Amino acid sequence: MRKIVYKRFATDISAANATYSKKFDLDKNIKRVLGLQLTSERPDLLFYRGSQRLEINGDELYPEGYDSRLLQNGLDVPIDVRFADLGDGVLSGNGEVKISYRDADATLAAFAAYSVALILKCEIE
């Protein structure tokens, strides 16, 4: 029977109009990444200001400039569809997750320090 775990990786955004690149390591027992989503304690800033490039196991999932809002959820979203579909899953391989998040000015969201959390839905062995 397939076992699912959720892994959370957070990045602090401390300055406006900057790019934040971070690398995270998946646990060795993670076989495949099935889905992902982005959250923040300031969902408005993430929505209007954020974009990112995301790579797992050397494989680019989302290119530079991919708006963060496309990976966010609202309260009305059913629980079962809150994760972005990665097709048949991404092999964890070397276990490296790389995110390059860019904060950019937006007229509807003035900057204040916030954090961005990447949540991965993973299958373990």
Residues near another protein, by CB under 8 A: 35, 37, 47-48, 59, 61-63, 65-67, 69-78, 80-91, 106-108
β-pair type (84-91, 30-39):
antiparallel
Which lies closer to another protein via its Cβ, residue 27 or residue 59?
59
Q: Is 77 exposed, middle or buried (0-12, 13-18, 19+ CB in 10 A)?
A: exposed
Which lies closer to another protein via its Cβ, residue 104 or residue 124?
104
The C-alpha angle with vertex 70 and arms to 78 and 77, in degrees rounded to 5, equals: 10
Beta carbon of residue 109, minimum distance to another protein (angstroms, whole number): 10
For residue 95, give the H/E element and its range: none
Beta carbon of residue 12, minimum distance to another protein (angstroms, whole number): 22
Beta carbon of residue 26, minimum distance to another protein (angstroms, whole number): 17
Phi, then psi, of 70 in degrees rounded to 5:
-75, -5
Beta carbon of residue 84, minimum distance to another protein (angstroms, whole number): 4
CA distance 92 to 48: 30
